[in-house]
Amino acid sequence: MYQYTEVDQKLVDERVAQYRDQTRRYLAGELPDEEFRALRLMNGLYIQRQAPMLRVAVPYGLLSSTQMRKLAHIARTYDKSYGHFTTRTNIQYNWPTLESVPDILAELAEVQMHAIQTSGNCIRNTTTDPYAGVIASELEDPRPWCEIIRQWSTLHPEFAYLPRKFKIAVTGGPEDRAASQVHDIGLHLVKNDAGEIGFEVLVGGGLGRTPVIGKQINPFLAPQDLLSYLDAILRVYNLNGRRDNKYKARIKILVNAMGIDAFREQVEAEWAEIRESDLRLSQDEIDKVKAQFAPPAYAAEAADSNLDALLAQNDDFRAWYERNTVEHKVPGYRIVVVSLKPYLKAPGDITDLQMEAVADLADRFSFGEIRATHHQNLVLADVKQSDLHEVWNSLNANNLARPNIGTLTDMIVCPGFDFCGLANAKTLNIAEQINEKFENVDYLHDVGEVRLNMSGCINACAHHHVGHIGILGVDKKGEDWYQFTLGGSSEAEASLGKVLGKAIAADEVANTIEKILLTYIDQRDSEAESFLEVVRRVGVEPFKEAVYAADH
């Protein structure tokens, strides 16, 4: 993984000192609240419903075991002994005090971490596939390109005050595990007819009040032109994006208003002016960054001759292996997904002790590396098959081995009204209700892959628009109600879910999901036909009939 240079470290250390003085002046009454607000947001600090919330950057989801232990220490020392992983692969602390944040930032800097650009109208954390570099289907590891984007975008003076926040995702192959098509810019590594690898560029995707699938602006961009082309897109957006209405300020609104062809023309014109500038990447620069992501020293003998016997002897271990591990491109290894969706716990939350347990496992079994995922889980990317049983035992002992990856209870859920000042409805209690209703693991496995995403407001932090089942919390005269959508997906064949019908009362959410799943089982042609495939084939009408039949 990438290691800070002397310049990187100096920049982060100076930023900590700067913010420490800003906080001192604010607490002393020397800095007005409105001025301090802009400064704290630049350092990832929000004021939420109950306390400040600090969002820490985890660039493209990659963490070392040392960094994870520091996150555990911060959770224990400055918070309530836990953190929350988000869909942007960052981690949030929900209970720090305002005066302690400079100390937290100083501790983060000790392990090459920060909270810069995790908030505000700037380029946010670039995200990618959590299986990058270890999945056989990818054309190329996308992480070096994420690092190149990180270096270009961090504290970029021209793009520090964009019309609205800006998000970029990069994928390395045909699968999309980074929801790239609902980002402001989505970058897909592709191969042209000449066998060269470059980028397909999408622009104008996004969710929130106006959900949009990104549009192709360039089918093949040469790698050396990546930064100049991104710069051109950002310049066109920065000059033309709405600043009079924050709800219409995202690039998706601009692209739709102009039309993709007209937007492309402006980008191409801007790009022609800067393409041959210092932004053009040399092969030496590219190779230097790629060297930071060289494959680890894989063992020649990593397979386990006893694995089949262990799987046959232990049903719990077999369920976990089948659900929570993925085939690795190197024979004898598996990708292990660590579930942060334990029974009756807030999705995405992880305690300090669990962080330390994961860090220990990473050191012992996965080259000291951990990855955060878009689905609010963690990944140990390089585990020998011969170590899987021991890893499972340890995860199980720490309540991190629930075999539910890709199932209904592997939910993406925002913190909702319990924490967020923008939320209209609670989500965590509804997640508990769903877990209680669908505790049976065998049933979940029989149903198969169902992606459930639940947001507490229209801002869609949990990406409910692209859940196979999407749930949006709404306020009706002081009561929580929940609107359902079906058929969304953030994967390669991305789609926006269609509204099922009128909102459902809070105490009926899990029962409504049961009706939806029973309808799916009734409608599917075979057990091999997935929930999403059925919804796309039959539409929402059969599900609507099942859910609202009593109203007719």
d(CA 250, CA 237): 9
pTM value? 0.97
Type of residue at 424: N
The pLDDT score that the predictor gives to residue 251 is: 98
Distance, C-alpha 219 to centroid of its chain: 25
Please check whether residue 466 lies inside any domain of the structure: yes
For residues 281-298, one letter each, b for 16 or more C-beta atoms within 10 angstroms of the residue's C-beta and e for the rest, the string is: beeeebeebbeebeeeee
The pLDDT score that the predictor gives to residue 301 is: 83
Asked if the model's pLDDT at residue 552 lies above 60, the reply is no
Tell which of 398, 422, 438 closes a domain: 398
Number of domains in the chain: 4
Please check whether residue 521 lies inside any domain of the structure: yes
pLDDT, tens digit, 9 for 90 and up, residues 81-106 = 999 999 999 999 999 999 999 999 99
Q: What is the mean pLDDT of residues 442-463?
A: 96
The pLDDT score that the predictor gives to residue 305 is: 86
Residue 211 and residue 263 in one domain: yes
The pLDDT score that the predictor gives to residue 304 is: 83
The pLDDT score that the predictor gives to residue 469 is: 98
Q: Read off the CATH number of the domain in which 204 is found.
A: 3.30.413.10
Residue 320 and residue 416 in one domain: no
Please check whether residue 458 lies inside any domain of the structure: yes
By C-alpha distance, which of 53, 164, 64, 56 is closest to 116? 56
By C-alpha distance, which of 47, 166, 5, 133 is closest to 419? 47
Report residue 551's pLDDT band, with 50, 70 and 90 as the boundaries.
low
pLDDT, tens digit, 9 for 90 and up, residues 359-385 = 999 999 999 999 999 999 999 999 999
Please check whether residue 71 lies inside any domain of the structure: yes
Which range marks the domain in which residue 16 is found?
6-110
Asked if the model's pLDDT at residue 303 lies above 90, the reply is no
Residue 212 and residue 77 in one domain: no
Tell which of 375, 398, 421 closes a domain: 398
Give the rounded percent of residues in the chain with a pLDDT score beyond 90.
Answer: 96
Q: What is the mean pLDDT of residues 221-250?
A: 97
Please check whether residue 472 lies inside any domain of the structure: yes
Residue 148 and residue 252 in one domain: yes
Please check whether residue 131 lies inside any domain of the structure: yes
Please check whether residue 116 lies inside any domain of the structure: no
Residue 233 and residue 154 in one domain: yes
Of the two residues 450 and 551, the one the predictor is more confident about is: 450
Token readout for 199 is 């980028």
The pLDDT score that the predictor gives to residue 352 is: 98
Q: What is the mean pLDDT of residues 8-28?
A: 97
Residue 28 and residue 142 in one domain: no
Q: 375 near 412, Cβ under 8 Å?
A: yes
Q: 81 near 73, Cβ under 8 Å?
A: no
Q: What is the mean pLDDT of residues 134-144?
A: 98
Residue 90 and residue 175 in one domain: no
Asked if the model's pLDDT at residue 391 lies above 60, the reply is yes
> How does the average pLDDT of the chain come out, rounded?
96
Residue 438 and residue 507 in one domain: yes
Residue 136 and residue 280 in one domain: yes
Residue 146 and residue 225 in one domain: yes
- How does DSSP assign 46-72, residue by residue? EE-SSSEEEEEP-GGGEEEHHHHHHHH
pLDDT, tens digit, 9 for 90 and up, residues 26-73 = 999 999 999 999 999 999 999 988 899 999 999 999 999 999 999 999
Q: Read off the CATH number of the domain in which 376 is found.
A: 3.90.480.20
Tell which of 398, 431, 465 closes a domain: 398
The pLDDT score that the predictor gives to residue 421 is: 83
Q: What is the mean pLDDT of residues 350-355?
A: 98
Residue 333 and residue 446 in one domain: no
Report residue 422's pLDDT band, with 50, 70 and 90 as the boundaries.
confident
298 CB-near residues (< 8 Å, 6+ apart): 330, 332, 333, 382
SS3 state of residue 128: strand
Residue 95 and residue 132 in one domain: no
Q: Tell me the C-alpha to C-alpha distance, in Å, between residue 61 and each of 68, 76, 149, 268.
A: 12, 22, 14, 31
By C-alpha distance, which of 410, 366, 58 is closest to 401? 410
Please check whether residue 143 lies inside any domain of the structure: yes
